[in-house]
C-alpha cells in the first residue's frame, strides 16, 4: 500500500485533453518520416528471397553504376564496424553476412538521390545463393537432422535486463529455455479431484503500428546521430555505440513523435543498417520501410503450449503444469525475455500451490520475433484462462465464481520470491461481470465470459529525469520516455503540475533525445507512469526543496521558517510564488531551478516486479451457427491501475489493448506457406476495423491506490489484451459448445469444430 494515499487532486486523476491530440489530428505533428536533412540520401533494402541460404557472392557493380546511386552497402562492406548487435545476444548482423536466415532478411542496401532511384537499382544487385535446408516450426528446428541456424557463439548483449542465462549459441537451435517450479506437481495431479489438459496454439502476429519503421542517420568520423521511430532510444544508443565502437556521448538518438509501437518498436531495429548506409555514403541517409517490409522485420513469438490444471474437491486450484515451445524466428531480439516472462505468466493471477512450467524458444527460418504488447502473457493466457473455464465446467462450478475463489488476494505472495500481489482481482472480476450482465438470460448462440490476467511487469527501475522550473513559473520536463500515443506527454505534466501547484498548461515536455534528456531505460512494460512518473514527482519535490532554500535566502529567514504552499512558499505574512522565488533569487526575471531524480532498484522499487499489471475483461459474443462467424456483442474492460493519472487516457489504453487482443482472437495470424510469409501485406493481414468493434463497450478502472507509482498509480495499457483470446474461446464454448484451443477463432475453425461435433453425434 502506498504511503501517499491522497485524494484531493487538482490536476492528477483528471481527464485532461491529451497534449498531442490537436497536432496529430490536424496532421501537423512531426514524425521521422517528415524529416529532411541537407544533403540527405535515401536507402532501399534488397531482401533475401531464400529462407536459409549461403551467400556465394554479391555483385553490386551494375547497381552502383546507375545514375543517382551513391553506394551499395552489403555485409562485406562493414570492415571497421562491429556489425552484430542484439539486446539479449549479439546474433543479428545489420546486413546478412555469409548466409541468410529468413526470407525477407536485408542483404544489401542501395543509397541514392531519391527513394525511387534506390529502389530501381535493387534489381541490378546480383546475389548468388546456395540454398540450405530450412526449418519453419519449433518441431522442425528440434529435429535431429535439423540444420543449424547459428553456428557460432555469441557475445552477450550488455543490456539484457533479465535474470537467467541466454541459451542461444550452444550448438543447437535452442534460443532460450526457462523453468519455474514449486510444490510437488506429480503428487498434486495424482490427488486431484479434476484435471483438464490440452494443447494450444497462439499465432504469430504483427503489432501493426500505423507508422512503419523509419530512421534518418547522420554519421561522421566522430559522431553518430540518428532520428528514429524507436521506443527505447537509450537501448538503441547502446547498440550503436557498440557497432561503431564510440563513447556513449558520441551517439545521439532523437525520437520525435512515434506513430504507435505496441512493443514492435522496442529495441534496435533498422538503426544500425541506416547508420552503416550513412557511414558508407558519407551523408545523411533516410530509410523508411513500407508496411510490408515492417512485417518482415518483427512479429510476436507464436507459442505451442501443452498445459494441465488440477482442482481439488472443494474447487481449489491445486496444480498447474505446462510445456511451452515458442517460435522465435531467425534472431533472438528480445525473445529470451519473452520466454522468461511467458513462463512466469502461466501462473496467472492465481494462488496455485504446485507449479511446474518449462519453456523454450527455437530459432527458425522465419521473421524474428520480439516484444509485442502483453509480452508473452497473451500466449499463455489463452491456455491458462481457457483451462480455468474448462476446469470450472468439469467440477460443475460457475467459471466466474471459480475465478473469484482462486484469484490471488491483495498482498498475497502468490508467486514465491516476487512482490506480493498489488491488485484487487475480486473487485476487477465483479466489475467486469456486472458490466456484461453476468447471470442474466442469453439468447441461443450467445456466450458470455469474464477472464483476467496479472503480469509481472518487466519494468526495470532505472530512470532519471530533470525538471526545469523557469523564472516565470513555467516548467520543462526533460524525459527519456517516448510519446508513442500512450499519453506520456500529458500524464507527466499532470504530475509536475500537481506537485508544483502550477497550471497544467505551463508545463512542457522535451523527450527522447539522448544528448539532452536524462537516461531512461525504456518506454515499455507499461512502466512510464509508474517509474518516470515517480521520477517527475521526486524531481518536482527536489526542485521545491531547492526553492525553499532560495526563498529563505531571498527573505533572509531560516529555512525552517519557510513553509511550502500550493504554487509557492509562505513565511509569516510574506508569500512568494515560484516565479518570484526564482527571479528574486537571481535578481533578474530570468534563470531557472533544475530538480532531479534518479530511480534505481532500491527502496520501494527493490522488489520486482515493480507492479503486477492486472486487468479483467468480459465479453458477450454471438456465433452464426451456419457460417461460424463471431459477432462481438459486448465488451467490458477493467483496468486495475491503482490510480489513473488521466482516466480517459487509461481507458483509451484499455480499449486499445482489448481491441488488439480481440483481433488475435478473431482474425490476426501471420501465415507461412513454405518459406514465404503469404499474408505479409496491408491487404492480406486482417486487423480489427471499426465495424468489428463490440456493439456495446464499457470501460472501467479500479483505483485503490495500491501501486508503488505516484499517488498509488501502477502500469496499465497491456493487460486488457492478454485475456481476450481466451475470453473469446471460452465464450464460443458457452455459445455453441465447441472448445477451440487455437487463435484466431476464424469462422472456418468454428464451423469445422461444430461439424466434427455433429459428425461424432
Partner 1 sequence: MLGELGDKARLYAGGTELLLAMKHDLLRYEHLIDVKTISDLNKIELKNGSLMIGSTVTHRALERSPVVKENLPVLAQMETNVANVRVRASGTLGGNLCFAEPHSDPATLLLALGARAHVQGKAGSKTVGIDKLITGAYETSLASDELLVGVEIPIPTKSKQAAYLKFQLHERPTLGLALVLDVDGDNVTTATAVVGSVSTVPTQSGKANSILVGSKAQIEKQLPDAAEALAEAADPVDDLEGSAEYKCHLIRVFLKRAFSQALS
| Residues at the contact surface with partner 1, assessed by CB under 8 A | 119, 292, 626-627, 629, 667, 671, 678-679, 681, 683-684, 686, 746-748, 751-752
CA atoms within 13 A on the CB side of 703: 17
Could you give the CA distance from residue 70 to residue 54 in angstroms, rounded to a whole number? Answer: 27
In this complex, which beta carbon is closest to partner 1, that of residue 25 or of residue 683?
Answer: 683
Q: 745 to each of 449, 460, 630, 718, 753, how far by Cα in Å? A: 15, 35, 8, 21, 10
Torsion angle of alpha carbons 9, 15, 16, 20, nearest 10°? 130
β-pair partners for 698? 636
In this complex, which beta carbon is closest to partner 1, that of residue 208 or of residue 504?
Answer: 208
CB of 102 to partner 1, least distance (A): 20
In this complex, which beta carbon is closest to partner 1, that of residue 541 or of residue 752?
Answer: 752
Most distant CA pair in the chain, distance: 92
Q: 516 to each of 51, 112, 456, 536, 562, how far by Cα in Å? A: 42, 31, 31, 16, 33
If phi over 0 gives left and psi between -120 and 50 gives alpha, with beta otherwise, what is residue 86?
left
Grouping H, G, I as helix, E, B as strand and the rest as coil, residue 63 is helix
In this complex, which beta carbon is closest to partner 1, that of residue 7 or of residue 290?
Answer: 290
For residue 75, give the nearest of 120, 51, 105 by alpha carbon: 105
In this complex, which beta carbon is closest to partner 1, that of residue 468 or of residue 686?
Answer: 686
Per the structure block, which three cell numbers stand in for 49?
528471397
Could you give the CA distance from residue 203 to residue 493 in angstroms, rounded to a whole number? Answer: 39
In this complex, which beta carbon is closest to partner 1, that of residue 331 or of residue 751?
Answer: 751
In this complex, which beta carbon is closest to partner 1, that of residue 420 or of residue 747?
Answer: 747
CB of 677 to partner 1, least distance (A): 12
CB of 627 to partner 1, least distance (A): 6
CB of 70 to partner 1, least distance (A): 22
CB of 683 to partner 1, least distance (A): 5
Exposed, middle or buried, 50 (CB in 10 Å: 0-12/13-18/19+)?
buried
Contact predicate 224/250, CB 8 Å: yes
Q: 10 Å Cβ neighbour count for 506?
A: 17
Residues in contact with 215: Cβ distance below 8 Å, sequence separation at least 6, in sequence order: 32, 226, 227, 228, 229, 230, 270, 271, 274, 286, 287
CB of 228 to partner 1, least distance (A): 24
* Alpha helices, DSSP H, located in 346-463: 377-394, 399-406, 425-435
CA 485 to chain centre: 13
Q: Where do we find the cell 503428487?
A: 187
Residues in the chain: 761
In this complex, which beta carbon is closest to partner 1, that of residue 76 or of residue 119?
Answer: 119
CB of 678 to partner 1, least distance (A): 7
Phi, psi of 607 (to 5 degrees): -85, 135
In this complex, which beta carbon is closest to partner 1, that of residue 367 or of residue 670?
Answer: 670
Contact predicate 646/710, CB 8 Å: no
Per the structure block, which three cell numbers stand in for 446?
450467445
In this complex, which beta carbon is closest to partner 1, that of residue 103 or of residue 713?
Answer: 103
Could you give the CA distance from residue 596 to residue 579 in angstroms, rounded to a whole number? Answer: 19
CB of 4 to partner 1, least distance (A): 49
Contact predicate 215/293, CB 8 Å: no
CB of 507 to partner 1, least distance (A): 38
Could you give the CA distance from residue 369 to residue 371 in angstroms, rounded to a whole number? Answer: 7
In this complex, which beta carbon is closest to partner 1, that of residue 62 or of residue 752?
Answer: 752
CB of 750 to partner 1, least distance (A): 11
In this complex, which beta carbon is closest to partner 1, that of residue 151 or of residue 748?
Answer: 748
CB of 752 to partner 1, least distance (A): 8
CB of 345 to partner 1, least distance (A): 30
β-pair partners for 655? none
Amino acid at each position: 500500500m502506498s504511503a501517499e494515499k491522497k485524494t484531493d487532486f487538482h490536476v492528477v486523476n483528471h481527464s485532461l485533453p491529451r497534449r498531442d491530440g490537436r497536432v496529430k489530428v490536424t496532421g501537423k505533428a512531426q514524425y521521422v518520416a517528415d524529416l529532411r536533412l541537407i544533403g540527405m540520401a535515401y536507402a532501399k533494402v534488397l531482401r533475401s528471397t531464400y529462407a536459409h541460404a549461403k551467400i556465394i557472392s554479391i555483385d553490386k557493380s551494375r547497381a552502383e553504376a546507375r545514375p543517382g546511386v551513391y553506394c551499395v552497402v552489403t555485409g562485406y562492406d562493414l570492415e571497421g564496424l562491429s556489425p552484430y548487435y542484439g539486446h539479449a545476444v549479439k546474433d543479428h548482423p545489420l546486413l546478412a553476412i555469409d548466409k541468410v536466415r529468413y526470407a525477407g532478411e536485408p542483404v544489401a542496401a542501395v543509397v541514392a538521390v531519391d527513394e525511387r532511384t534506390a529502389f530501381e537499382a535493387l534489381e541490378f544487385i546480383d546475389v548468388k545463393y546456395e540454398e540450405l535446408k530450412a526449418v519453419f516450426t519449433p518441431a522442425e528446428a528440434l529435429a535431429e537432422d535439423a540444420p543449424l541456424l547459428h553456428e557460432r557463439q555469441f557475445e552477450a548483449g550488455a543490456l539484457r535486463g533479465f535474470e537467467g542465462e541466454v541459451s542461444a549459441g550452444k550448438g543447437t537451435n535452442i534460443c532460450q529455455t526457462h523453468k519455474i517450479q514449486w510444490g510437488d506437481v506429480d503428487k498434486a495431479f495424482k490427488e486431484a479431484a479434476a484435471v483438464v489438459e490440452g494443447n494450444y496454439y497462439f499465432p504469430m502476429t504483427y503489432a501493426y503500428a500505423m507508422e512503419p519503421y523509419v530512421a534518418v542517420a547522420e554519421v561522421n568520423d566522430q559522431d553518430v546521430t540518428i532520428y528514429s521511430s524507436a521506443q527505447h532510444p537509450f537501448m538503441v544508443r547502446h547498440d550503436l555505440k557498440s557497432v561503431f565502437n564510440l563513447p556513449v556521448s558520441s551517439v545521439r538518438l532523437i525520437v520525435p513523435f512515434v506513430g504507435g509501437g505496441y512493443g514492435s518498436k522496442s529495441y534496435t531495429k533498422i538503426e544500425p543498417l541506416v547508420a552503416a548506409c550513412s557511414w558508407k555514403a558519407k551523408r545523411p541517409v533516410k530509410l523508411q520501410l513500407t508496411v510490408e517490409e515492417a512485417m518482415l522485420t518483427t512479429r510476436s513469438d507464436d507459442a505451442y503450449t501443452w498445459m494441465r490444471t488440477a482442482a481439488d474437491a472443494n474447487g481449489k486450484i491445486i496444480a498447474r503444469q505446462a510445456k511451452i515451445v515458442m517460435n522465435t524466428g531467425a534472431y533472438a531480439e528480445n525473445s529470451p525475455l519473452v520466454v522468461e516472462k511467458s513462463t512466469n505468466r502461466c501462473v496467472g493471477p492465481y494462488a496455485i500451490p504446485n507449479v511446474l512450467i518449462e519453456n523454450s524458444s527455437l530459432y527458425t527460418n522465419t521473421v524474428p520475433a520480439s516484444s509485442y504488447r502483453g509480452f508473452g502473457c497473451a500466449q499463455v493466457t489463452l491456455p491458462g484462462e481457457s483451462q480455468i473455464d474448462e476446469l470450472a465446467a468439469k467440477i460443475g462450478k460457475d467459471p466466474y465464481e471459480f475465478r473469484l475463489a482462486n484469484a490471488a488476494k491483495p498482498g498475497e505472495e502468490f508467486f514465491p520470491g516476487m512482490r506480493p500481489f498489488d491488485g484487487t482481482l475480486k473487485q476487477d472480476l465483479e466489475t467486469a461481470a456486472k458490466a456484461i450482465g453476468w447471470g442474466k438470460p442469453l439468447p441461443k448462440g450467445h456466450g458470455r465470459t469474464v477472464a483476467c490476467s496479472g503480469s509481472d511487469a518487466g519494468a526495470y527501475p532505472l530512470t532519471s529525469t530533470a525538471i526545469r522550473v523557469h523564472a516565470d513559473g513555467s516548467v520543462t520536463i526533460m524525459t527519456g520516455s517516448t510519446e508513442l500515443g500512450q499519453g506520456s506527454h500529458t500524464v507527466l505534466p499532470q504530475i509536475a503540475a500537481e506537485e508544483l501547484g502550477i497550471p497544467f498548461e505551463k508545463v512542457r515536455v522535451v523527450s527522447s533525445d539522448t544528448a539532452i534528456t536524462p537516461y531512461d531505460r525504456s518506454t515499455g512494460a507499461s512502466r512510464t507512469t509508474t517509474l518516470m512518473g515517480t521520477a517527475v514527482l521526486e524531481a518536482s519535490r527536489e526542485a521545491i526543496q531547492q526553492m525553499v532554500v532560495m526563498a529563505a535566502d531571498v527573505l533572509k529567514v531560516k529555512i525552517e521558517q519557510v513553509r511550502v504552499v500550493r504554487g509557492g512558499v509562505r513565511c509569516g505574512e510574506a508569500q512568494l510564488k515560484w516565479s518570484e522565488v526564482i527571479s528574486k533569487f537571481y535578481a533578474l526575471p530570468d534563470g531557472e531551478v533544475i530538480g532531479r531524480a534518479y530511480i534505481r532498484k532500491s527502496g520501494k522499487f527493490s522488489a520486482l516486479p515493480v507492479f503486477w499489471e492486472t486487468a479483467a475483461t468480459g465479453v458477450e459474443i454471438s456465433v452464426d451457427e451456419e457460417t461460424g462467424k463471431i459477432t462481438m456483442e459486448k465488451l467490458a474492460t477493467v483496468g486495475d491501475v491503482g490510480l489513473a493519472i488521466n482516466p480517459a487516457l487509461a481507458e483509451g489504453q484499455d480499449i486499445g489493448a482489448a481491441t488488439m487482443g480481440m483481433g488475435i482472437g478473431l482474425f490476426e495470424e501471420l501465415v507461412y506457406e513454405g518459406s514465404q510469409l503469404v499474408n505479409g501485406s496491408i491487404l492480406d493481414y486482417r486487423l480489427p476495423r471499426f465495424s468489428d468493434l463490440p456493439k456495446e463497450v464499457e470501460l472501467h478502472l479500479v483505483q485503490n491506490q495500491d501501486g508503488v507509482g505516484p499517488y498509488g498509480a501502477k502500469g496499465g495499457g497491456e493487460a486488457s489484451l492478454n485475456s481476450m483470446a481466451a475470453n473469446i474461446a471460452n465464450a464460443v464454448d458457452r455459445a455453441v459448445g465447441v472448445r477451440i484451443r487455437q487463435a484466431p477463432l476464424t469462422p472456418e475453425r468454428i464451423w469445422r469444430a461444430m461439424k466434427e461435433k455433429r459428425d461424432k453425434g
